[in-house]
Structure 1
Amino acid sequence: MEKRNKPAGRASKITYWVATLWLSLGMVSTGIVQLMKMEADVDLMTRLGYPIYLLTMLGVWKMLGVVAVLVPKFALVKEWAYAGFFFAMSGAIVSHLAIGHGAEELFGPSLLLLLTVVSWYFRPADRKVVAVNQ
């Protein structure tokens, strides 16, 4: 029976790292673009009705979130990073839907939201917050 659990454990670990690396790549690349305040992103933020300084905030938060998710230990900080990624990407989806954007604009944030959930769900035990009963 123990041999049956090992492949599932290995598959979970592979799923975690694939999702986490793609999530990190997506967050870093979009964070860099936001920090650079590229014209297309400035135009998009204006159309969405957000202030331009939000690009800087999102870019910095994404970079810090990636560091938090990738470094060992600091499970509580990882939880906050995953929550931040979840809120940022779900907020992006809602913002695009609110102004009538279609599937093309929804693909990126939807993919990053999915990767956030998959990475969080499959994270190893040493990357989870341990509940302490009092």
Structure 2
Amino acid sequence: MSRRRPDTTDAPGRPCPCGKGGAYAECCAPLHRGTRSASSAEELMRSRYSAFAVGDAAYVKQSWHPSTRPRELDLDPAMRWTGLEILSTTGGTAFHTEGTVEFRASYRHGGATGSLHEKSRFTRHEGRWTYVDGDVEG
């Protein structure tokens, strides 16, 4: 699989892929650049989705818990993430050390469309939210 160059430009007004409605420059870009940390498991989930959407494999890998982080991570350059829907969350706030986020992410790959439905687990590691793993639903 080839590596995809991140498209992390902060063009004014460029919408954030995470779907919260703000501009990428103020939403997920600061997390991708490391100038701000996610305040919740949901925010980390959204920033990871955005990292997949812009091709930022380094952020995806860095935000993965060290115990489950893959050695190599190549993003498919043909994959286009087209939408994120958060279905439910448990825990994952400033008052928790663990949380889950259930989501559906839509994509286009070649001529096909589809979606990924996952219940992801997050935990704090060294004070920061990290992705541990997830169960892919039907």
- Shorter-chain TM-score: what band? under 0.3
- TM-score, normalized by length of structure 2? 0.27
> Which protein shows a greater Rg?
1
Greater RCO, CA 8 A, separation 6+ = 1
TM-score, scaled relative to structure 1: 0.28
Q: Larger helix proportion, structure 1 or 2? A: 1
Q: Which structure has greater strand proportion?
A: 2
